[in-house]
């Protein structure tokens, strides 16, 4: 039983682990390590794309491995190459830190960085080759791409402030920006981006802000849209229209034969002269044409209207007037522990001594990511036996992180 429990946890953690890796491997900080080296930059971007494809197969593979030994073997091989990719990213993260410390003196180590670039290129090529071969086996294994569960099933805001830890300062900063008039910008509508890696709590922060009483009073209209990787203008426009009140019943209802421009006109009319707040959650696409279409609809709103965009990518919505990009950092150990106890116990009570030492080790290994802590807490809550908690520490995903 303990082995099966550990296996379930290992798979849940692997999914969160892979989401974070997708964000890290071609982050701006890492790509900035290779100025002028287009080959390495392209390799890392290609690696991010294939890692993302592997992640979309993970949910289906985890279900099918139970009855298919070939899928189980595929998953084991995928884990190994993911760990290799994580090792590579760790090396690059270390170089990012070293570069920040050396600053302008970095050029003194020109020969070293040539060697480093070459090493990264060789390792990335090998990882990309192996990973591509694995992803290409999806048809023979009958694996289908499934959108990540944590994003596809996201609902409109439902959490309470008491369920969130360590985001008070972030919330206050975003709320203050939303309440400001931005008169100096000369634009009616402006965008606030909340940017951070997967699982760090961007959606949670946006929910806190969305439900804040000051925001309720300040804006006449509010709408929340979960976008994910399908940046479909018609879908987004229809969703917003459906959530806005109309003085004429049925006026904003979507008809199957509505053309995109008709939907945009409906949205323009609904927002005209109103101060609104729209949250576009989990945005990936930065297609300027798509954003330009949205922009034209939003500009009918009153001055002071705002759009919050949450994304893993800092360049989304660049065609809009962005007043602030808020980078969300990991939670501190103190807040991670409070969140862990909340999900394990269902209350804010302390754990007994026999579990606290193990629990604090879990929290340390989650590295400040709320999603990993919540996933872990929910799984551990179903079984309170100490020996089973101890068995989880031996899951290979943990061991890999420690090595």
194 with 315, same domain?
A: yes
Q: In this structure, what DSSP letter does residue 222 have? A: E
Is the per-residue pLDDT at 248 higher than 60? no
312 with 339, same domain?
A: no
Query: According to the model, what pLDDT value does residue 307 have?
Result: 93
Query: According to the model, what pLDDT value does residue 280 have?
Result: 92
Query: According to the model, what pLDDT value does residue 250 have?
Result: 45
Burial (Cβ within 10 Å: 0-12, 13-18, ≥19) of residue 248: exposed
Tokens 């099933």 -> residue? 153
Instruction: Considering only CA atoms, give the Rg of the chain.
Output: 23
Residue-wise pLDDT for 25-43, tens only, equals 888 888 888 988 899 999 9
Is the per-residue pLDDT at 401 higher than 60? no
Tell me whether strands 305-311 and 276-283 are parallel, antiparallel or unpaired.
parallel
298 with 229, same domain?
A: yes
Judge whether 148 lies within some domain.
no
The rounded distance, in Å, linking the Cα atoms of 24 and 29 is 9
253 with 225, same domain?
A: yes
236 with 280, same domain?
A: yes
Judge whether 165 lies within some domain.
no
Last residue of a domain, one of 141, 163, 192: 141
Most confident among 4-13, 14-23, 95-104 (mean pLDDT): 14-23
Judge whether 64 lies within some domain.
yes
Counting the structural domains of the chain, the total is 3
Could you give the C-alpha distances from 274 to 133, 180, 296, 298, in angstroms and in order?
A: 53, 16, 15, 10
42 with 135, same domain?
A: yes
Helix (H, G, I), strand (E, B) or coil at 55: helix
Is the per-residue pLDDT at 393 higher than 70? no
The rounded distance, in Å, linking the Cα atoms of 344 and 381 is 5
Judge whether 157 lies within some domain.
no
Burial (Cβ within 10 Å: 0-12, 13-18, ≥19) of residue 120: buried
> Which band of pLDDT confidence, cut at 50, 70 and 90, is reported for residue 61?
confident
306 with 354, same domain?
A: no
- Which domain range does residue 380 map to? 333-394
Residue-wise pLDDT for 363-383, tens only, equals 888 888 888 888 788 777 766
* Range scoring the smallest mean pLDDT among 10-19, 103-112, 119-128: 103-112
Judge whether 91 lies within some domain.
yes
Last residue of a domain, one of 118, 141, 164: 141
* Range scoring the smallest mean pLDDT among 102-116, 203-217, 333-347: 102-116
212 with 119, same domain?
A: no
Judge whether 153 lies within some domain.
no
Query: According to the model, what pLDDT value does residue 253 have?
Result: 54
Judge whether 150 lies within some domain.
no
Query: According to the model, what pLDDT value does residue 6 have?
Result: 44
Tell me what the mean pLDDT of segment 261-282 comes to: 88
Q: What token pair was written down for 60?
A: 């289906």
Tell me what the mean pLDDT of segment 91-111 comes to: 65
Is the per-residue pLDDT at 46 higher than 50? yes
Judge whether 403 lies within some domain.
no
Name the strands in the sheet holding 221-228, side by side, starting at the edge strand that comes first in the sequence.
Answer: 221-228, 276-283, 305-311, 189-195, 322-327
Query: According to the model, what pLDDT value does residue 177 have?
Result: 92
- Looking up residue 225, the CATH number of its domain turns out to be 3.40.50.300
The rounded distance, in Å, linking the Cα atoms of 189 and 347 is 41
* Range scoring the smallest mean pLDDT among 37-51, 95-109, 205-219, 307-321: 95-109
The rounded distance, in Å, linking the Cα atoms of 193 and 324 is 6
Q: What token pair was written down for 368?
A: 């400040």
Tell me what the mean pLDDT of segment 211-232 comes to: 87
Question: How much of the chain exceeds pLDDT 90, in percent?
Answer: 23
Tokens 């501190």 -> residue? 332
Query: According to the model, what pLDDT value does residue 210 have?
Result: 93
Closest C-alpha among 364, 355, 376 to residue 336: 364
269 with 133, same domain?
A: no
180 with 320, same domain?
A: yes
Residue-wise pLDDT for 186-207, tens only, equals 678 889 999 988 778 898 999 9
306 with 246, same domain?
A: yes
178 or 293, which is more confident: 178
Query: According to the model, what pLDDT value does residue 152 have?
Result: 40
Q: Which residues are bridge partners to 202 per DSSP?
A: none
Is the per-residue pLDDT at 181 higher than 80? no
The chain-wide mean pLDDT, for the chain, equals: 79
* Range scoring the smallest mean pLDDT among 126-130, 143-147, 332-336, 393-397: 393-397
Last residue of a domain, one of 93, 124, 141: 141
Closest C-alpha among 311, 113, 124 to residue 226: 311
136 with 253, same domain?
A: no
Tell me what the mean pLDDT of segment 194-222 comes to: 90
Cβ–Cβ < 8 Å for 74, 137: yes
Q: Evaluate the CA torsion angle 82, 84, 90, 91 in order and state its sign.
A: negative
The rounded distance, in Å, linking the Cα atoms of 65 and 74 is 9
Cβ–Cβ < 8 Å for 350, 341: yes
> Which band of pLDDT confidence, cut at 50, 70 and 90, is reported for residue 276?
very high
Could you give the C-alpha distances from 83 to 7, 76, 90, 240, 368, in angstroms and in order?
A: 17, 11, 10, 41, 19
């Amino acid at each position: 039983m303990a082995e099966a429990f550990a296996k379930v946890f290992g798979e849940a953690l692997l999914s969160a682990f892979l989401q974070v890796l997708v964000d890290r491997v071609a982050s701006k900080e890492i790509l900035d390590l290779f100025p002028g080296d287009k080959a390495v930059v392209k390799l890392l971007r290609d690696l991010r794309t294939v890692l993302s494809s592997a992640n979309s197969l993970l949910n289906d593979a985890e279900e099918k491995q139970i009855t298919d030994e070939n899928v189980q073997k595929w998953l084991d091989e995928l884990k190994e190459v993911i760990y290799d990719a994580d090792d590579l990213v760790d090396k690059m993260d270390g170089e990012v830190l070293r570069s920040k410390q050396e600053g302008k003196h970095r050029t003194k180590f020109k020969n070293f960085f040539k060697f480093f670039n070459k090493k990264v290129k060789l390792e990335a090529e090998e990882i990309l080759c192996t990973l591509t071969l694995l992803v290409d086996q999806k048809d023979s294994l009958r694996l289908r791409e499934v959108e990540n569960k944590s994003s596809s099933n996201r609902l409109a805001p439902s959490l309470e402030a008491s369920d969130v830890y360590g985001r008070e300062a972030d919330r206050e900063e975003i709320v203050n920006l939303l309440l400001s008039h931005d008169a100096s910008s000369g634009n009616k509508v402006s965008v606030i981006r909340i940017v951070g890696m997967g699982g760090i709590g961007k959606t949670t922060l946006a929910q806190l802000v969305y439900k804040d009483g000051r925001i309720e009073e300040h804006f006449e209209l509010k709408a929340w849209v979960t976008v994910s990787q399908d940046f479909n203008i018609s879908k987004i426009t229809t969703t917003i229209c459906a959530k806005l009140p109309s003085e004429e019943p049925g006026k904003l209802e979507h008809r199957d034969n509505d053309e995109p421009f008709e939907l945009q006109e409906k949205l323009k009319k609904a927002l005209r002269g109103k101060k609104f707040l729209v949250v576009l959650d989990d945005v990936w696409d930065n297609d300027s044409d798509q954003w330009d279409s949205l922009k034209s609809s939003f500009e009918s709103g009153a001055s002071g209207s705002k759009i919050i965009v949450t994304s893993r990518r800092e360049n989304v919505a660049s065609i809009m007037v962005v007043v602030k990009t808020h980078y969300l950092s990991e939670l501190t150990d103190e807040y991670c522990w409070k969140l862990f106890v909340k999900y394990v116990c269902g209350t804010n009570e302390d754990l007994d001594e026999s579990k606290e030492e193990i629990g604090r080790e879990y929290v340390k290994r989650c590295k400040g990511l709320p999603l990993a802590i919540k996933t872990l807490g929910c799984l551990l809550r179903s079984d309170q036996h100490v020996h089973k908690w101890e068995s989880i520490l031996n899951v290979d995903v943990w061991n890999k992180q420690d090595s």
